[in-house]
Structure 1
Amino acid sequence: MVHTCVVAGCRNRRTPGTTLSFYRFPRDPERKQRWIAAVNREGWVPNDGSRLCSTHFISAPLSPEMKEPGALEILDKQEARVEAANALLFLQGQGRPVVDVQGQEKLAGEKEKEQQAIAEESGSSSLSTDEDDDDSVSESKKGKFAQTSDAPVKFDDMLKALKKENQALRESVDKMSLSENSLRNDAEKVKFYTGLPNYFVLETVMWLLAPHMDGMKNVKLSKFQQLLLTLMRLRLDLRNQDLAYRFGVKIGTVTRTVHRMVNIMSSTLVPTAVFWPSRAELRKNLPAALRSSHPDCAVIIDCFTVPFEEPVSRVTQQQQRVLPASQEARTTYNVLKYLIGVAPQGVVTFVSRGVLGNVSDKSLAEGCGFLCKLLPGDVVLASRDLNIGESVAARGALFRIAGSYQGEADGISESSPPADTSSETASVQRHVERVISMVKQRYAMLTGPVESPFTTASERTSNLSTFDKIVQVACALNNLCISAAPLE
Structure 2
Amino acid sequence: MPTRSPDVQILRLRQENRSVEDYVSEFIELAHFASMSTECLMIFFRGGLSEPLSSLMPLHNRHGTLEDYINQALLLSGSLFTVGVVEKELHEPVVSTQPELHVMPELHAEPALTCLFLSRCLVLRDEPDLMDVSGEPDPSSQTFHDAQTQWSDPAMEDHTYSKGPTITCVMTTAPSSKSSLSVADVVLKDDADCLLYTGIPLLEFRTLVSCLQHFAPTSSSLSAEDQILLTLMKLRQNFVIADLARRFKMSPGQVSKTLKFWIDAIAEHTQDLIPWLPRETIKSTLPQVFMDNFPNTTCVIDCTESVLQKAKNLDSRTESYSHYNANNTVKYLVATAPSGIIMYISEAYGGKCSDRFITQNSGFLDHLRPGDEVIGDRGFTIRDLLEERKVRLITPAFTRKKCQLTNEQVTRTRRIANVRIHIERAIRRLKVYRILSQTVPIHFVPKIDKILRICAALVNLRGELISRT
Structure 2 length-normalised TM: 0.57
Contact persistence 2:348–2:449 (CA under 8 A): yes
User: Which residue identity is paired with 2:443?
Assistant: P
Relative to 1, partners in 2 of residues 1:375 and 1:252: Cα closer, same or farther, differing over 3 Å? same
CA displacement at 1:452 relative to structure 2: 1.0
Candidates 181, 190, 194, aligned match of 2:198: 194
User: Which residue identity is paired with 1:219?
Assistant: S
- Percent identical residues: 25
Candidates 428, 444, 461, aligned match of 2:419: 428
Higher percent of residues as helix: 1
Q: Verify: 1:258 aligned to 2:259, yes or no.
A: yes
Q: Verify: 1:454 aligned to 2:448, yes or no.
A: no
Q: Verify: 1:289 aligned to 2:286, yes or no.
A: no
Partner of 1:240: 241
Partner of 1:473: 454
Distance in 1, Cα, partners of 2:415 & 2:312: 38
Q: Verify: 1:273 aligned to 2:254, yes or no.
A: no
Question: Which 5+ residue runs of structure 1 have no aligned equivalent?
Answer: 1-143, 146-154, 457-465
Partner of 1:93: none
Deviations 1:250-279 (CA, angstroms, capped at 9, x unpaired): 10111111111111111111x221111010
SS in 2 for 1:469: helix
Deviations 1:220-255 (CA, angstroms, capped at 9, x unpaired): 211111100001001111001100011111101111
Contact persistence 1:312–1:452 (CA under 8 A): no
User: Which residue identity is paired with 1:303?
Assistant: C
Relative to 1, partners in 2 of residues 1:164 and 1:189: Cα closer, same or farther, differing over 3 Å? farther
SS in 2 for 1:335: strand
Distance in 2, Cα, partners of 1:159 & 1:266: 47
Relative to 1, partners in 2 of residues 1:179 and 1:373: Cα closer, same or farther, differing over 3 Å? same
Distance in 2, Cα, partners of 1:330 & 1:185: 42
Superposed CA RMSD: 4.0
Distance in 2, Cα, partners of 1:431 & 1:276: 18
CA displacement at 1:356 relative to structure 2: 0.8
Partner of 1:228: 229
Partner of 2:352: 358
* 1:408-423 aligned within 5 A: 417=408, 420-423=411-414
CA displacement at 1:342 relative to structure 2: 1.1
Contact persistence 2:183–2:248 (CA under 8 A): no
User: Which residue identity is paired with 2:422?
Assistant: H
Relative to 1, partners in 2 of residues 1:182 and 1:364: Cα closer, same or farther, differing over 3 Å? same
Partner of 2:186: 182
* 1:77-88 aligned within 5 A: none
Deviations 1:452-477 (CA, angstroms, capped at 9, x unpaired): 11113xxxxxxxxx012111111110
CA displacement at 1:332 relative to structure 2: 5.2
Deviations 1:55-110 (CA, angstroms, capped at 9, x unpaired): xxxxxxxxxxxxxxxxxxxxxxxxxxxxxxxxxxxxxxxxxxxxxxxxxxxxxxxx
* 1:353-432 aligned within 5 A: 353-401=347-395, 403-404=396-397, 417=408, 420-432=411-423
Deviations 1:127-156 (CA, angstroms, capped at 9, x unpaired): xxxxxxxxxxxxxxxxx89xxxxxxxxx99
SS in 1 for 2:439: coil
CA displacement at 1:388 relative to structure 2: 1.0
Distance in 1, Cα, partners of 2:312 & 2:302: 23
Partner of 2:120: none
Relative to 1, partners in 2 of residues 1:377 and 1:473: Cα closer, same or farther, differing over 3 Å? same
Distance in 1, Cα, partners of 2:312 & 2:366: 27
CA displacement at 1:163 relative to structure 2: 7.9
Distance in 1, Cα, partners of 2:248 & 2:419: 43
User: Which residue identity is paired with 1:447?
Assistant: S
Contact persistence 1:307–1:334 (CA under 8 A): yes
CA displacement at 1:287 relative to structure 2: 1.4
SS in 1 for 2:431: helix
Distance in 2, Cα, partners of 1:253 & 1:223: 14
Contact persistence 1:332–1:356 (CA under 8 A): no
Distance in 1, Cα, partners of 2:410 & 2:310: 47
* 1:327-366 aligned within 5 A: 329=323, 334-366=328-360
* 1:303-322 aligned within 5 A: 303-311=303-311, 320=318
SS in 2 for 1:420: helix
CA displacement at 1:331 relative to structure 2: 5.6
Contact persistence 2:293–2:415 (CA under 8 A): no
User: Which residue identity is paired with 2:462?
Assistant: C
CA displacement at 1:395 relative to structure 2: 2.0
Q: Select the structure of larger CA radius of gyration.
A: 1
Distance in 1, Cα, partners of 2:372 & 2:332: 22
Deviations 1:309-355 (CA, angstroms, capped at 9, x unpaired): 12398x868x95xx79xx97496561111100011111211100111
CA displacement at 1:391 relative to structure 2: 1.2
Contact persistence 1:346–1:486 (CA under 8 A): no
Q: Size of the alignment, in residue pairs?
A: 307
User: Which residue identity is paired with 1:382?
Assistant: G
Q: Verify: 1:212 aligned to 2:215, yes or no.
A: yes
Distance in 1, Cα, partners of 2:368 & 2:274: 16
Partner of 2:45: none
Contact persistence 1:380–1:399 (CA under 8 A): yes
User: Which residue identity is paired with 2:192?
Assistant: E
CA displacement at 1:420 relative to structure 2: 2.6
CA displacement at 1:211 relative to structure 2: 2.6
Question: Which 5+ residue runs of structure 2 have no aligned equivalent?
Answer: 1-88, 91-96, 108-124, 126-173
Relative to 1, partners in 2 of residues 1:292 and 1:162: Cα closer, same or farther, differing over 3 Å? closer
Partner of 1:16: none
Distance in 1, Cα, partners of 2:406 & 2:235: 51
Partner of 1:74: none
User: Which residue identity is paired with 1:398?
Assistant: R
* 1:26-41 aligned within 5 A: none
Relative to 1, partners in 2 of residues 1:342 and 1:452: Cα closer, same or farther, differing over 3 Å? same
Distance in 1, Cα, partners of 2:464 & 2:421: 16
CA displacement at 1:484 relative to structure 2: 2.1
Structure 1 residue ranges, 4+ long, deviating more than 6 angstroms after superposition: 158-161
